[in-house]
Structure 1
Amino acid sequence: MAESTLQVSDLHAYYGKSHVLHGVRFDVRPGEIVALLGRNGSGRSTTAKAVMGMVDARGDVRFKGQPILGKKPFEIAHLGLGYVPESRDIFPKLTVHQNLLLGQKGSGRGSRWTFDDMYAMFPRLKEREHTEAGVMSGGEQQMLTLCRTLMGDPDLIIIDEPTEGLAPKIVELVGEYLKKLKERGISVLLIEQKLTIAMRISDRALVMGHGSIVFEGTPDQLRADAATRKEWLEV
């Protein structure tokens, strides 16, 4: 079995005195899409932020074998770990092309991804190349955020709720995009509410409840486990 790209063991996280994550443990292997599922408040976004060094956490987090807990977010990003937050942090006054340019690390040479790749994947971004990002639709901004992260050539991307508020057609596009990442050997940790897309494109599914992992298995195993779905996922 290939060594995991991301290994998380006994991860605890805190907001002030509030203990949010309780010994979270999972891994993501090279070129694998892992869905992290659960209701709002279960600890999914906190897990992403803890891995990225954005909240107070303890435990063991390793990226490509290297311990990263305690490093600053920009240091973690430079190791090759991309993060697409739920908030779609685009630069609204900059154009699409300028936003993508900001995603590049250093000269951009040697990256798996070019501007042409981004525009081929999302022709809509090519049409809006010189448009200020702030005037675009939510779906277009989501595409831009994903592409800007890719321009940094990460080996693993953590994506938080990429389909939130998007039209069904755009949700399909995002799903296709994530499969393309996998084809290029990039690992994905997908935090998602929409079970249908997560179950369709993921290799494995994790379910969180009350700050712990309560299920780990294939999408088929989760489909067959009505009790887990009812207790931890269904609203």
Structure 2
Amino acid sequence: MLEVRDLHAYYGKSHILQGVNFEIGDGEIVSLLGRNGVGRSTTAKAIMGDVPPNGSIVFKGEEIAGLKPHQIAQRGLGYVPENRDIFPALTARQNLLLGQKKAGKSGRWSMEDMFDLFPNLRERADVPGGVLSGGEQQMLTMCRTLMGDPDLVIVDEPTEGLAPRVVTQVGTLLEAIAARGISILLVEQKLAIALSISHRVYVMGHGRIVYEGTPDELRANEQIRREWLEV
């Protein structure tokens, strides 16, 4: 589904990504782990074209490095940014409608699906997005992305600042996404949710991948956790 090879990215003269390599298969949940500042979010932005990438990014057999973000999205790659980016003056329902790839047409996900997954969004459907709680805004952002019927979704720090109950709901949604054959790249710092739902994990350090394995293998590798993940 997605193959990233020798990916480099810069902020000015700062060399942030220094040869990142990883891949995601069909229907896989893959987590990208690491401490703050190691390049996880920059990797997501480089894949989506928000940061100029150097290297190869192949999505569904097509090289997408160098394409504009809207062109990448049109090819079926969804992105849930860390800062959520909802439209605060529009209602939750209107935000969801804006997510549709083609107006009036639903793919694998309908608005009713979104409301079934998150009943409180149904209750708050006609409330402006800016009035929603942080957890509700996170749900709305994820659901709006799904309304575009992506084949792969990059989700950047979806549980940041959320209550434990909402974190559980986010995990349930991610599993529901994968159950419909949609691949997921989860950029996450919390080990608990990443290890509980992922098929494979990558650990980043100093702008490159330093470890790849299954959740069970990472649980058993105390040295990697201590060196690259624990504070």
Common fold by TM > 0.5: yes
Shift of 1:17: 1.1
Q: Aligned ranges for residues 126-205 of structure 1 at < 5 Å? A: 126-205=122-201
Percent of aligned pairs with the same amino acid: 65
Structure 1 length as normaliser, TM-score?
A: 0.97
Q: 1:59-82, CA deviations, whole angstroms, 9 ceiling, x for partnerless residues?
A: 000000100000000000000000
Query: Contact 1:15–1:56 (CA<8 Å) still a contact in 2?
Result: no
> Where does the alignment leave 5 or more consecutive residues of structure 1 unmatched?
none
CA RMSD after TM alignment = 0.7
Aligned residues: 231
Q: C-alpha separation between the residues in 1 aligned to 2:101 and 2:51?
A: 24
The answer as to 2:101 corresponding to 1:105 is yes
Shift of 1:107: 3.0
Q: C-alpha separation between the residues in 2 aligned to 1:169 and 1:119?
A: 17
Structure 2 length as normaliser, TM-score?
A: 0.99
The answer as to 2:39 corresponding to 1:43 is yes
Q: Aligned ranges for residues 31-70 of structure 1 at < 5 Å? A: 31-70=27-66
Shift of 1:92: 0.3
User: Does 171-180 or 107-116 show the bigger shift?
Assistant: 107-116
Q: C-alpha separation between the residues in 2 aligned to 1:211 and 1:16?
A: 15
Cross-structure match for 1:219? 215
Which residue identity is paired with 1:106? K
Q: C-alpha separation between the residues in 1 aligned to 2:132 and 2:102?
A: 27
Q: Secondary structure at the match of 1:94?
A: coil
1:74 to 70, 76, 85: 70
Cross-structure match for 1:17? 13
Which residue identity is paired with 2:217? Q
Q: C-alpha separation between the residues in 2 aligned to 1:213 and 1:157?
A: 20
> Where does the alignment leave 5 or more consecutive residues of structure 2 unmatched?
none
Cross-structure match for 2:26? 30
Q: C-alpha separation between the residues in 1 aligned to 2:95 and 2:103?
A: 15
Q: C-alpha separation between the residues in 1 aligned to 2:53 and 2:119?
A: 40
Which residue identity is paired with 1:199? L
Q: Secondary structure at the match of 1:113?
A: coil
